A and B are shown apart, each in its own frame.
Chain A
């Protein structure tokens, strides 16, 4: 008899439910890479929980053979905070979308991140409301013509990673649904981080917002439009790896390597910088002026909410190992009636 634990394969993380996303949806890729990441990680399936809100992405938990909760719109980070606080032994994932996380759930996202609850928040950003059939979202570009904005939207979009920086996130990353290797690796890094991990995934909605991330996914253009961050390495991109990002004062600029500009002149990525200034600056690089960054923007060690909450309980219990309720009941002023 073998004493080795059975090794779970990616397929072992899939539930028996039919996946009902539209054919061609970017969500399929994220689901597949999540299963791969979990299998590679080797964490017990029964100790894993997926919590989601409402929206297309939020059907995700039904398709995983782990514990899961499909909750209410925007509130998944709050459910996850309660679950993780009560059960720090679990690995808790939050699956959310741009509408779920940044519109109705903006408050909970902000607070889960600033508390640094040890959960992994994966935001599927397709820049549209899919499940309600195509209204603009808080990440839709200005001028977006949708069912609810026939003359174009007039509100400024949010950059999810800038929001995360503003909340003091200890792990911030971005990846792309079609870049499967990068996606799986990023999910794994998020799982390994101790604290709130925030990952934005560029995800294509082929029904209501097809091609939203075309510039970052098309074979022909992606290398010129995306710069992959690696800790300690210079920011170099382009089909010929001949372009880079240089800092000019507090402003980034795109430069061509050669003709007097060497790698050492470029901005070197420091994901572990104590201050989030550079992470913010990188999050503000948008098309078409700049390539958009993917990878881990920031990863720092900081006190974790659920650790501290449970440490306080443990400390109080340790200080009073024989605490009994009868002592509480009889504390303070009491009197006897014969």
Chain B
């Protein structure tokens, strides 16, 4: 045993190495193990767009950050308490995030001249005098791992692939984590390949035992269970939660689910996840391109399925024309945009919130669509269900905005009881006989929604299309007054959704000096920073938008209750533009486009500056 066990309330750890070093797996395992230990967890995977960027280079560094805590947390943490680096490139690209006094764990075997050259370093960065501010633990991980798996007689190349498990084992010792969940994982994942399972298990235990036997001259840490709301929990990632939310929404509305999709980072995992769930009536169509994906989705919606399409900014750009068609057809469907760094191909694996204006306005003609944004990985589940409720009730495509940070991040999800969820009631008009008056496909109900008449229903045969249609009959119409009437009608329908969605809630006082207005994946950082402001006695409140189109009906009044409004966004001020132009409010903005989420400390500093 180490000499002392220190009780701490939270810890932030990052694993960084080559993109082939298995850092994502290592981080995921520590996350799951910590969640099972009852901690609250939040993660931030950060990896290059290339599958195997050149080995040893700075561009090829892949990282996975996790914060686990005995209290509610909303972010993966700002500064690192512990940084594990597998090579010099990982050290130089990550060291600035390690707090002074933090623990730096180094795979010493990779700190050699060849690796310095690959990382474009003149000398060993560990010799830098700045390193004195950290507690550095050098471990010959490659050598120790080879020795640990020696009896399995694997090649060095093969043995070296296990060194991430060694690093994991050492960190498990350091934070008093239970090895069993990861041993179970190894068995489940590699059980059919005993030599791989055996090697990984040996490496994991060797890392743990190395900490214990060398005592590494440090104390170890213990993070107690978090006090979460009672219930059964599991760890869930954003894209998985979106997929499950869609399946659930389909079941709640007694529909089969159809996904039309084209692979794109960071949305593809929704396609992968949904393709596994055919037994719940899920059909997935991997289309030839983004356009075909959304068009097939519209076709399936016409046929009566709960139809969805998933993509990211560049794909949404391609889908634009068809989204406009979906809007004028007035068919329900979900269009899911997992935002990434833009413009153009941009930063495919990094996060950003810069597709808001695209989703709001990126179509020809007057083409309003509801936009709903999820705020965290677990929240994606509810977001999908809420979006489908709106789509089905108001007969329109609904855009869901998520982002790479939410999509790949994980957090504990309080598992709902399916049977307790509110059903989504959808009614389709029934058969009509020849002597009844003709069916009117664009006759509207109190919500201004038209009927969802399904092909196959006798007497309801009708034609829909992209040309302007006459009120009620849906027949093609070039009449100028009708066109204006229909444009306004479609807008009014979307505006009416505000009566259906909840009012915006304020965290903190209902009026005061500063309102922080946020949306999407910045929820966690904003919540944490505002809570700290409030703890310091500042008059700062927080409101987080779920619906961006339409806005909650009390938003305007709320904005007027505060002396100042600030809108933090991972873009150059897109919500800010909309708020300013919609309400004439002089809202300030906090903007960041670095492909990374806000840190709590940078928000805190800026909130304080704005509030003065």
Contacts and interface: CB of A to CB of B under 8 A. Distances in A.
Contacts of B465: 61-62, 68-71
A260 interface: no
Contact of B232 (A45, A83, A319, A336): A336
A333 B283 contact: no
Contacts of B235: 333
B12 to A, nearest CB: 21
Contact of A79 (B181, B228, B299): B299
B14 to A, nearest CB: 22
Interface stretch (A86-94, A186-194, A208-216): A86-94
Nearest to A62: B463
Residue among A71, A310, A319, A323 with the most chain B CB within 10 A? A71
Nearest to A334: B234
A86 B476 contact: no
Interface string B472-488: 00011000000000000
B35 A326 contact: no
A47 B455 contact: yes
Contacts of A309: 283, 285
Nearest to B419: A326
B232 A334 contact: yes
Nearest to B294: A78
A86 B417 contact: no
B304 interface: yes
B374 interface: no
Contacts of A317: 278-279, 281
Contact of B282 (A83, A110, A313, A324): A313
B298 interface: yes
Given A71-B465, A337-B233, A326 B299 contact: no
B566 interface: no
Interface string B244-258: 100110010000101
A312 B282 CA distance: 10
Interface string B422-466: 000000000000000000000000000000000111111111111
Nearest to A80: B299
B298 A90 contact: no
Contacts of A86: 256, 258, 283, 299-300, 303-305, 307
A330 B234 contact: yes
B609 interface: no
A108 B292 contact: yes
B299 A89 contact: no
B418 to A, nearest CB: 4
B230 interface: yes
B288 A323 contact: no
Interface in A280-338: 309-310, 312-313, 315-317, 319-320, 323-326, 328-330, 332-338
Given A86-B300, A329-B415, A78 B287 contact: yes
Which range holds the interface residue count of chain B?
35 or more
B476 A329 contact: no
Given A87-B456, A330-B234, A82 B303 contact: yes
A82 B279 contact: no
A325 B462 contact: no
Interface in B307-359: 307, 321-322, 325, 329
Nearest to B458: A46
Nearest to B298: A79
A87 B304 contact: yes
A54 to B, nearest CB: 8
Interface in A74-117: 75, 78-87, 89-90, 107-108, 110-111
A294 B417 CA distance: 62
B462 A67 contact: yes
A49 interface: yes
Nearest to A313: B278
Given A65-B461, A333-B36, A78 B291 contact: yes
A81 B299 contact: yes
Contacts of A323: 279-280
Contacts of A110: 288
Interface string B206-230: 0000000000000000000100111
A75 B292 CA distance: 7
A329 B461 CA distance: 40
A79 B38 CA distance: 47
B189 interface: no
A163 to B, nearest CB: 15
Contacts of A72: 295, 321-322, 325, 466
A338 B278 contact: no
Contacts of B417: 326
A17 B283 contact: no
Nearest to B464: A69
B38 A111 contact: no
Nearest to A319: B279
A68 B461 CA distance: 8
A89 B304 CA distance: 12
Given A78-B291, A82-B295, A83-B299, A45 B461 contact: yes
Given A86-B300, A110-B288, 4 more contacts: A47-B456, A78-B293, A87-B456, A328-B247
30 contacts: A15-B463, A46-B455, A47-B456, A54-B466, A67-B455, A75-B292, A79-B295, A81-B287, A82-B300, A82-B307, A84-B299, A86-B303, A87-B303, A89-B456, A107-B289, A108-B295, A313-B278, A316-B279, A317-B278, A320-B279, A325-B248, A325-B280, A328-B244, A328-B277, A329-B244, A329-B418, A330-B232, A332-B234, A333-B181, A337-B228
- Counting from the closest, the 6 A-B pairs by CB-CB distance are A70-B465, A82-B299, A82-B296, A78-B295, A316-B278, A83-B299
